[in-house]
Amino acid sequence: MKTSAVNTVSNSQYDTQANDFLARFNIRFSAVLADSKPAPWADEEKHPAPRHHFKITLSKPQGKPTTKAFDVLRGGKVIDTVFYNAGQHITANEVLRSLQNHDGVDCDAVRRAYRRAPRLVFDFWASSKDHADGVHTVRAYDILSCISSDAFCPDTFADFCAELGYDEDSRKAEKTFKACSSFARRIQKFFTEEELTALSEIN
């Protein structure tokens, strides 16, 4: 009973740490249960237990734009992007005529460029114990504490193997390195330097 009380307090502190991070940087968190099955990295020969598979989305609300963006195209490919004041009433056709007639730009089309709010979407597999215990949710802390370590990956495959104990001759290890390196770049692209520093404190 005493151990249970300690764990409750501890979990509450972790949850507060994660929620404070999200609130501080105005980041929205969503976790949707997709299905339940063994994790893709599990060893099939050992008959792995099923886990809950979640689709995680972290997003930043897009503020009111101060500019209008237009993509400039030639032969169907974007060759440039031009910006106008958001309060200026101008159409894509007017931008095209201005670029062709006044600026002498060699282009054949202009289209409005809409920028989506930054999002980080990825898969997360909960523990097999959670599945066995009937836990169908995942906490923001669970996600943030995981990606805080995933945000940084060794630069080379050799360093990756040396640091994590993989065999350099293993193709599976090389595939894992490429996946980790790619995900680390996605995390670093989504978060600012300040956010990454704060994220590293969640563990």
The residue extents of the domains of the chain are: 2-62+118-199, 67-113
Which residue is it, tokens 């404070």? 20
How far is the C-alpha of 186 from the C-alpha of 113, rounded, in Å? 22
Q: Is the predicted pLDDT of residue 188 greater than 90, yes or no?
A: yes
The whole-number pLDDT of residue 28 equals: 95
Q: What is the pLDDT of residue 147?
A: 95
Least confident range from 5-9, 25-29, 54-58: namely: 5-9
pLDDT at 85: 82
Average pLDDT over residues 83-109: 88
pLDDT for 45 beyond 70: no
Q: Look at the pTM and tell me if it is higher than 0.95.
A: no
Residue 63: pLDDT band (50, 70, 90) is low
48 or 147, higher pLDDT: 147
**pLDDT band, very low/low/confident/very high, at 8 (cuts 50, 70, 90):** very low
133-144: average pLDDT: 94
Specify whether the CB–CB gap between 100 and 80 falls below 8 A: no
| CA separation for the pair 54, 124 (Å, rounded) | 5
Looking up tokens 């106008």, which residue turns up?
Answer: 84
Task: Compute the average pLDDT of residues 20-32.
Answer: 95
| pLDDT value at residue 145 | 95
Q: How far apart are CA 149 and CA 177, in angstroms?
A: 14
Average pLDDT, the chain: 87
DSSP 44: G
Residue type, 159: D
pLDDT average, residue stretch 148-167 = 93
Reported as a pLDDT band with limits 50, 70 and 90, residue 9 is very low
**How much of the chain, in percent, has pLDDT values that exceed 90?**
62
For residue 197, pLDDT beyond 80: yes
- Percentage of the chain lying above the pLDDT 70 cut: 90
